[in-house]
Amino acid sequence: MRKHYRIGRKDRPSVPDDRTVSRYKDMGRLMYNYQKATRPLYERPLYRDPRAFLALLIIILLTILVWEAVEEEQRGPSPDAPAVEAPAS
């Protein structure tokens, strides 16, 4: 397979003028992206992020609920609880 390279300078695209280049410059956004990319993910604790905290709270509550249900099933009915009978029709 052949590759066609353009070596001549006549086919080179023109360089945009300063006005067009300045329209795309946003140093604030550039610094934000750089800081976000270089900052470690663990720098901000999960409990300080409201969405992550809520997700952790829901996971913990569901774990406790499942744990209690499994223990209740393993214990069986308590001897002090009255037996539930179906009403006679």
Question: Model confidence over 21-62: pLDDT tens digits?
Answer: 887 788 888 888 888 888 876 777 777 788 888 999 999 999
Tokens standing for 19? 């006005």
Collapsing DSSP states into helix, strand and coil, what is residue 54? helix
| The pLDDT of residue 23 | 76
Query: Of 70 and 8, which is predicted with more confidence?
Result: 70
Give percent of the chain above pLDDT 70: 81
Cα-based torsion angle of the residue sequence 42, 47, 53, 55 in order, rounded to the nearest 10 degrees: 40
Q: How far apart are CA 6 and CA 46, in angstroms?
A: 52
Collapsing DSSP states into helix, strand and coil, what is residue 76? coil
Pinpoint the alpha helices (H) of the chain: 18-24, 27-38, 50-75
